[in-house]
Each structure stands twice: as structure tokens, then as C-alpha cells.
Chains A and B, each alone.
Chain A
Amino acid sequence: MNPSTRSASRRQFLKTSSGMALFVGVSGLLPIALSCADRKKIGEQLSKQPLTAWVQLSEDGQLTIYNPAAEMGQGSMTSLPVIFAEEMDADWSMVQVIFSPQESDIYGSEGWGASRKVMLSAGSRVTTGYYSLMRKAGAQARHIILHSAAKLWKVPIGELTTKIGKVVHPEQGLSASYGEIVPFLEVPEILPDFNEKGLKDPADFRLIGKSVARTEIPEKVNGSAQFAIDIRLPNMVYAVLERGAIHGARPALKNKASILAMDGVLKILPMDHAIGIVATTLERALEVKKRLEIDWEHGQTGGFNSKDVFAVYEKHAEKKTKGKVLTEIGNVKKAFRSAAKTYRADFKNDYVYHAQMEPLNAVVQVATDRQSAEVWVGSQQGFDEKLGVPKVLGIPPEAVKINLQYLGGGFGRRSMTDFVTECALLAQEIPGRPVKLLWTREDDLTYGAFRPQTLQRLSASTDAKGNITGLSHSIIGDGGNLVASGIKNNYYDIPNQYAEWKEVSHGIRLKHWRSVGHAPNKYAIECLLDGIALDQGIDPLALRRTLMRNAPRALATLEKAAIMSKWNGPAVEGRAKGLAFLERSGTLSTAVCEISVNRETGKIKVHHFWNALDAGVIVQPDNVRAQMEGGILMGMSSVLKERITIAEGQVQQSNFHDYPLLRMEDIPESIETEMIPSTEHPQGVGESGTPLVACAIANAFLRLTGKALRHLPFTPDRVLEVLNSADREKKYASISHSN
């Protein structure tokens, strides 16, 4: 162990400790918390919440570790505690995991660029954001135990070591479990602030990188895992909202009196965007929702037609006016002027919907005096303090308690708080009684917040040897960062690059959707590369090998995927393989998929998917595999089936009968994942699989048919149209090239 000098004073630590248990609140994190603006507030919080810390150890050896992140299936309930337990050298069989209190001053991360700490589970950043903190906290917990045992046995601390939940003195043959040390816990004067060197050698890891079963799976197979939608409280009442078919439209309720006279109706609340109903039972609330007669005033999206708007986008693409510049490397114009050949292609994508399986919902109870509130919710947390509830209720943040529940899927939708604040407003009308707000599936879909539709115009230049010398990428659509993510090509050696975003806004509600702009942007970039490869008669793998000449980690994933997929092996009759590489949330991944196409129906069948990734240290390998499988299947769903269309401002789909998701009959035979061994800091994996799919499928399709799929999703009707198009040339024909 190699303690460095920065330390937390004993007094600070004692504030959080108690005689019975060890609270390692101080480690790494609490000094930061204590140094934050309002010390008094933190102190109060700690005395109110004796468990406000990372861990609690009791005399029987039971260890409770607090998870500050949301659990939406990505495995945070296991991955973060595993990191802590690894450094503490804890006995994993004694570990229990619970959610930490939702107090961002204490449990939040500073890495979100806000002026204060934020608790947020998004962008695949949970593991990467908490890794160092959890290691340090675990090491400090171990140090306190060692220190206490040294005092107890009157031996120098240097003679002690730990062994899976025990502290031992090998020479004197002394041994005690961590629990047995609890009554003698003593906090050192100086608590070391462990640096990298003082932490475990990764070669000695016995939890990190090993197969550890996920802690919350047993409750998820016996039906007891609690989602917010499952909350039942004494005196609880039910709320639903009727929102406008056009987003933002204002309602005027015409039959208020007769609705209020209905049995079981407790309240009607007109809101800016909806009519809220509170009733004694859910079935009553839903029945009443159907009976509302509402006049809707004009909404923000009135008259908008998503299918027609591509023509407008094309006009913007033609215009010489610059958009917001996203990348500028070298001189693209010059590269194009001196090019041996140039290429151009447009790519389109439609709106997609999150479709998390648990429809949005929340439970809120406002106190009778309206001065405090309690919330039960499945949320990805977020920037709004206490999910925006204090603000809408006009009460201070400390008067709001958030009880985080498991999320029945997040995918970006649950980092919005619209469903929480709606519920708070309704609960305020019935103080004292808990109100459960349910969005029906139809509400969830029609009042969704979608991944934006875009048009992307790409052009590239090559020199006489076929090297790519320039790449220009223009995105036309709405959404700022939502459309810009994934535009950069940091791992490809292309000397001249330019990327821009041209804004066209329609007032459609938009939101991060698993992997954000990466899916459409990487689709366009990777397909352009394969188009160039085809035209130049270069193997797509060889083309990328050249581009990755200065990016060894990226190249390693490419070579690995090539081996896994037998890229150069003989093709199965009627099938072809397609390749894609990308970086998302710091993870580098290459995928190969193998497809066939039914030329009568236009249906694409994905047979196999192979992917190799470098995500730094892998905390939970089996969970990484699960995330890749899930991400790829969600990608396949969106790429082959999903499309939200808007006509006259209204969403045209309403439920899974007209917004189909991938089903069991369409899954590939296998999805294989390999992880490149690494000692680098862990990166995010949850969003890596999804954006690989469109590129890999379209590139396989190009190799199979010589034709390009240029509009997501690749529904059978679109595929047929491409297959039957007049262009029969074995060329990437829609790319224009000039010599």
C-alpha cells in the first residue's frame, strides 16, 4: 500500500461514523461533499440519513454497499459494488446492494460539467464515471479495518494483510473477520487518499473481470423486483392525462361538470398541454379519459409532415450557406480540388421511439401542508434538482425525497422528467394522498420524444492511389447534440475533414435515444466508406486497415472481428458479410454481420453478428456480452422495423401493432462478443452495440446485391424498392464520381 499525502481529517470522518458500523463516507467523496458550498446542509443530511455513505458494515459481517446509479438493466447494481468490494477485499457472499439516497451533493459526480454535482445514469457513463472513486473508497475502507486491527492486536499495520473479508497477521497466526473488527473500529488520524499505486494490482483482481452473477436477477425472475409502476400505498389514488394529438396543443374541456359527477372522480386538473384526471381506481381513471370532450387549440407541430420534409432538407443541403461547424481538420475544399475522384451520397433516417417496456409512470405524495413531498420513480436521474419536483411545487429541494425504483428500461427517455413533474402537479391537488400517474402505452408513444429524423449529405475525395484525402459531412435536421454525436472520425486517418449541422426545426419533441446521433451518423460514414471500397475494388477491411494505421487499439478490434467472423473465408451461398467500426462512449468496436435477403418479400435476415471491442478494463465480462447482445438486438429492431411518421403534426402510430419491435422469430442465430484485454480506464459499453447495426447490415447488403440502402429503417417495402430499382449496375451507382 502506498498512501499519498492528501487526506481527510479525522474530524470530518467522525461526522459520518457511528459506534455500530463503519461508514466510509469520507473516502474520496465526502471531503468533496464537505467542501461544497453548503456544509450545514450536508451535515444535516448526514444526521438525517445515517446510511449516507458508500458502505455499511455490521458486526455479523454483512456488508451493505450503496449504488448511486439507476439500474435499468445495464447492471450498475452489481458493477459498482464489485469495484468497491474488490479494493476492500470483501467477501462478496456477504454483500448486499441497495440504492443510495438520491442526494446529488453527496452521491453525484462532478463529471457532467454542471456547476454542482449531478446524479445521472446516461451516456454509458456510470462505470467510467465511478470506477476510480469506488476503488479509492474500497481501499480506504480496507485501510480503516487494517488500522483498527493493528491497534487491537498492538502490531504495526505493515505486518497485517487482508484475505477475502478477513484481516490476518500471518506471523502470529491472528485472524479476524471484518465483522469481528466492527466493535473495535478506530479511525486513523490520517486517512490515505489512495492513488493508482496504492490500489490493487489488476493482476490480483478476483471480482473485477470475473463472472459475478448480477445481484438483482433473482428478484427479476420471481416477480418481486419493484418498479415504480408496482408501488401501492395506503390511500393511493390514480391519475391519467389526456394530452393533445398535436404536441403542445392547449386543451379546453367541454364536459367538466358531467365528468366531475362521475363516480370515483376526485379531481380534474386542466394543464397547459393536457387535462389531468384523478380517480379512486385506475380503471375508473382510464374510463374517464375516454369520455373527455376536449377542444384543442393549435399546437407547436401543426401542419408538419415528416415524409414531405426530406425535400426541404435537400434544399438546405444544396444551399451554399454554412451550418454550425462541428469538425474542421485540414482543408477539405483543397482536397476536393486536387482529388483524383470524388464521391457523394445522401442518407436519411426517420424518427424512432424509445419503447421502453415499462410505460412512463410515477407516484408522488405531497404532504397535507404542501410543504414536502415524496416521490417513487424509475428515473435515469438528471440535471434538474430532485427531478424538477421542488421547482413545480415551490418547495425547497431538501423537502423532497426521491425513492428510486428499478427502471423498466430507460434508453434516454427516463432522463426526461415530464412524467414526474406532471404527477407532482396532480398530487398537489390532493395533498396527503399518494397519486400514481400512469401513461398508457398509447400516451407513451404518441407523446413520445423521438430520435430526430435527419438527412445527411456526405462527400469524399480520393487521390490517384485510392486513398481517402477528404471527407465532408453535412447533417440537416433538428436537435443539436442529438444529431451531432458520432460525427467525429478520430480513429481514421483522413487528413481533411469538415462536418456541419444545418438546423431545421419542426417543434417535434426530441430526446437522446440509445447511442444518440451515433446510429444515423456512423451509418452514413461507414456506408460511404464501403461505397468507396466497392468502387475502387478494395476490400472494406483493407480500406479500414489503412485508415486505422495510426490507431492501434481500433485496429486491434478490426483484426479481431475479422478473425471471429472468418472475414476472408468462403461465403455461404446467398449470404454476405458487412463490416462496421465505431467509437461510442470511449469504447472502440468493430462488428461484422452476415445477412441474406428474401428478394420476393424484401425481408432482410440477419444470421450472425460478431463484434470485438476495446472498452478498457472490463468490470463484468458477462454483462458486457449481455449489453452488446441487447444493444445489437435493439439496433436490429430500429434498423429493420421502427419508424415514427408524423402527418399534419400528429404521430401516426400508437402501440406495438403499428410500431412493431423485433420479435423472437427475427433474432440471429448468434451474437458473439470478444473483449480486447486492457488495463486502461473502463469505458461505456451500453450504447456500443446499437449504432453498429445499420452500418453492418447496409454494408452486407451492398456486398450481396451491389445496391445501397440509404434510408433507415430498412423495411421490406424500402428494400424491395431498392432491389427493383432500374440501376442494375454492379456499382455503388448513386455515388456520383468525376475524374
Chain B
Amino acid sequence: MAAYTFNINDEKQQVEVTEGTSLLWVLREHLGLTGTKYGCGIAQCGACTIHVDDRPMRACTLTVDGLTENQKITTIEGLSEAGDHPVQKAWIEAQAPQCGYCQSGQIMQAVALLNENPEPSRKDIQSYMNGNLCRCGTYLRIVEAIQLASKNRLAKK
């Protein structure tokens, strides 16, 4: 057991866990940030997607030892105060989720995409989102939501 300190959603968080513990279990079971999901544990599904210094990462393959408190970790819970991030709003407008289980990961991946590329083509969206599985088959609405978010953001400028 060892003590670790992280910066998660702009808060300092301390946990005491065994070395090598996956960040996913720390977030979910130790800190109660359960919006980040477990789907495969081997970086194949994207359900556990979070941001580390604004870049999308799979929490299931990060371990506590691989992170420092200087790195900024953002989970779905820290994306917006009231679930009203432009991407979240677009997701509601498109009525994208079905079971919802993959959606936190999809949204975190989509936010990172739009930060990098505010006007992605359909192809750009498809390739950037390719690592995020959705068994319910909401892919078409995810594309639509990302296009909506992109459009809404441009309209605001």
C-alpha cells in the first residue's frame, strides 16, 4: 500500500492503494467517480475514457504509479458544472444515448476531438471515435451530436 495524490476535476485527491492499481478502480471504487466505466480493461472499448492534461486516455490501462499530481485529470463529472457542456447539450439534442453505458467515454473522446479539430469532417469523426465501442448502436447519433456541437460552437463565435 502506498499513498498517492492526484489532481482530479480541479480537486486534490488522496488515496491509499496497492502499487500498480489501475486508475479506473481508483476513480470508480475509491473515489466514487463512477461516470467513468469499465468495459474491457484492455483499451479496446473506450468506456473508461478520461482526459489527462486535456488529452483522451483510457483509465483502465493507466496505473497509479504512472501519474503525478501535476497532471490534470478530468472525468465526465468534471466536464461541466451542470451537465451543460456544449457537447453534452448536443448529445441531448441528438438523443444519442440508449443504455448509456458507453456514453461518458464517447463524450470525453468527442470533447477531445473538438478541442483538437473544431470542424471535423464525417471521416475525421469516424476515425477519432473508432476506439469507442457502443453495443447499442448509437454511432449515427454520436456523429450527429458531434456535428451539432461543432456547428453550435461555430455559430457562437
Shortest CB-to-CB span from B47 to chain A, Å, is 6
Query: Which B108-157 residues sit within 8 Å CB-CB of chain A?
Result: 125-127, 129-143
Contact between A217 and B97, CB atoms less than 8 A apart:
yes
A358-B99, A630-B138, A656-B44 given as contacts; is B92 within 8 A of A217 (CB)? Answer: yes
- Nearest-neighbor residue (CB-CB) of A213 within chain B: B95
Residues of chain A within 8 A (CB-CB) of B21 are: 283
Query: Which A207-260 residues sit within 8 Å CB-CB of chain B?
Result: 213-214, 216-227, 229-230, 232, 238
Interface assignment of A123: CB less than 8 Å from any CB of chain B: no
What CA separation (Å) do A410 and B98 show in the bound complex? 11
Residues of chain B within 8 A (CB-CB) of A662 are: 137, 139
A223-B104, A284-B18 given as contacts; is B98 within 8 A of A663 (CB)? Answer: no
Residues of chain B within 8 A (CB-CB) of A284 are: 18
> B34-56: contact bitstring with A at CB < 8 Å (1 yes, 0 no)?
11111111101101000000000
What CA separation (Å) do A629 and B96 show in the bound complex? 11
What CA separation (Å) do A219 and B103 show in the bound complex? 10
- Nearest-neighbor residue (CB-CB) of A356 within chain B: B135
Of the candidates A282, A287, A355, the one having the most CB atoms from chain B within 10 angstroms of its own CB is A282
Contact between A223 and B76, CB atoms less than 8 A apart:
yes
What CA separation (Å) do A27 and B142 show in the bound complex? 40
A281-B29, A664-B142 given as contacts; is B37 within 8 A of A408 (CB)? Answer: yes
Interface assignment of B28: CB less than 8 Å from any CB of chain A: yes
Shortest CB-to-CB span from A195 to chain B, Å, is 34
A–B complex contacts, Cβ < 8 Å, 13 sampled: A74-B98, A225-B100, A227-B37, A227-B101, A358-B99, A408-B101, A440-B41, A629-B137, A630-B137, A634-B135, A656-B44, A664-B125, A664-B126
- Nearest-neighbor residue (CB-CB) of A628 within chain B: B137
Contact between B17 and A283, CB atoms less than 8 A apart:
yes
Query: Which A632-671 residues sit within 8 Å CB-CB of chain B?
Result: 632-634, 637, 655-657, 661-665, 667, 670-671
Residues of chain B within 8 A (CB-CB) of A634 are: 135-137
What CA separation (Å) do A664 and B88 show in the bound complex? 19
Given A281-B30, A411-B135, A665-B126, 9 new contacts (CB under 8 A): A73-B136, A217-B92, A221-B96, A357-B136, A409-B101, A630-B136, A633-B139, A662-B137, A664-B130
Contact between B141 and A629, CB atoms less than 8 A apart:
yes
Contact between A73 and B127, CB atoms less than 8 A apart:
no
What CA separation (Å) do A671 and B25 show in the bound complex? 38
Shortest CB-to-CB span from B85 to chain A, Å, is 9
Interface assignment of A389: CB less than 8 Å from any CB of chain B: no
A282-B25, A656-B133, A664-B129 given as contacts; is B100 within 8 A of A220 (CB)? Answer: yes
Interface assignment of A192: CB less than 8 Å from any CB of chain B: no
Contact between B134 and A357, CB atoms less than 8 A apart:
yes
Contact between A73 and B99, CB atoms less than 8 A apart:
yes
A281-B17, A355-B135, A655-B42 given as contacts; is B32 within 8 A of A73 (CB)? Answer: no
**A631 is contacted by which of B79, B92, B137, B142 (Cβ under 8 Å)?**
B137
Interface assignment of A407: CB less than 8 Å from any CB of chain B: yes
Number of A interface residues in the complex (CB < 8 A): 61
**B83 is contacted by which of A72, A222, A622, A656 (Cβ under 8 Å)?**
A222
Contact between B18 and A357, CB atoms less than 8 A apart:
no
What CA separation (Å) do A633 and B133 show in the bound complex? 12
What CA separation (Å) do A334 and B93 show in the bound complex? 59
Contact between B88 and A622, CB atoms less than 8 A apart:
no
Residues of B within 8 A of A (CB): 17-18, 21-22, 25, 28-30, 32-42, 44-45, 47, 75-77, 79-80, 82-83, 88, 91-92, 95-104, 107, 125-127, 129-143
Interface assignment of A441: CB less than 8 Å from any CB of chain B: yes
A232-B32, A630-B136, A630-B137 given as contacts; is B130 within 8 A of A655 (CB)? Answer: no
Residues of chain A within 8 A (CB-CB) of B141 are: 626, 629
Contact between B42 and A408, CB atoms less than 8 A apart:
no
What CA separation (Å) do A661 and B40 show in the bound complex? 12
Of the candidates A221, A357, A623, the one having the most CB atoms from chain B within 10 angstroms of its own CB is A221
Shortest CB-to-CB span from B84 to chain A, Å, is 9
Query: Which A274-295 residues sit within 8 Å CB-CB of chain B?
Result: 281-284, 287
Shortest CB-to-CB span from B147 to chain A, Å, is 13
What CA separation (Å) do A693 and B133 show in the bound complex? 19
Contact between B135 and A665, CB atoms less than 8 A apart:
no
Interface assignment of A3: CB less than 8 Å from any CB of chain B: no
A221-B83, A229-B38, A232-B29 given as contacts; is B135 within 8 A of A661 (CB)? Answer: yes
A224-B35, A359-B39, A664-B139 given as contacts; is B132 within 8 A of A73 (CB)? Answer: no
What CA separation (Å) do A135 and B154 show in the bound complex? 45
Contact between A220 and B17, CB atoms less than 8 A apart:
no
Shortest CB-to-CB span from A723 to chain B, Å, is 26
Residues of chain B within 8 A (CB-CB) of A632 are: 137
Contact between B34 and A407, CB atoms less than 8 A apart:
no
- Nearest-neighbor residue (CB-CB) of B39 within chain A: A357
Query: Which A689-728 residues sit within 8 Å CB-CB of chain B?
Result: none
Residues of chain B within 8 A (CB-CB) of A229 are: 34, 37-38
Shortest CB-to-CB span from A443 to chain B, Å, is 11
**B92 is contacted by which of A72, A221, A626 (Cβ under 8 Å)?**
A221
**B135 is contacted by which of A220, A232, A357, A671 (Cβ under 8 Å)?**
A357
Considering the complex of A and B, which 3 residue pairs feature the smallest CB-CB distances, nearest first?
Answer: A223-B35, A633-B137, A73-B98
Residues of chain B within 8 A (CB-CB) of A670 are: 140
- Nearest-neighbor residue (CB-CB) of B129 within chain A: A664
Contact between A230 and B132, CB atoms less than 8 A apart:
no
Residues of chain A within 8 A (CB-CB) of B125 are: 664
Residues of chain A within 8 A (CB-CB) of B75 are: 223
Contact between A667 and B100, CB atoms less than 8 A apart:
no
Contact between A622 and B95, CB atoms less than 8 A apart:
yes
What CA separation (Å) do A238 and B143 show in the bound complex? 37
Of the candidates A223, A655, A671, the one having the most CB atoms from chain B within 10 angstroms of its own CB is A223
Shortest CB-to-CB span from A92 to chain B, Å, is 16
Of the candidates B25, B100, B142, the one having the most CB atoms from chain A within 10 angstroms of its own CB is B100
- Nearest-neighbor residue (CB-CB) of B102 within chain A: A357
Shortest CB-to-CB span from A448 to chain B, Å, is 14
What CA separation (Å) do A622 and B144 show in the bound complex? 14
- Nearest-neighbor residue (CB-CB) of B30 within chain A: A281
A223-B34, A283-B17, A358-B37 given as contacts; is B101 within 8 A of A629 (CB)? Answer: no
- Nearest-neighbor residue (CB-CB) of B100 within chain A: A220
- Nearest-neighbor residue (CB-CB) of B122 within chain A: A669
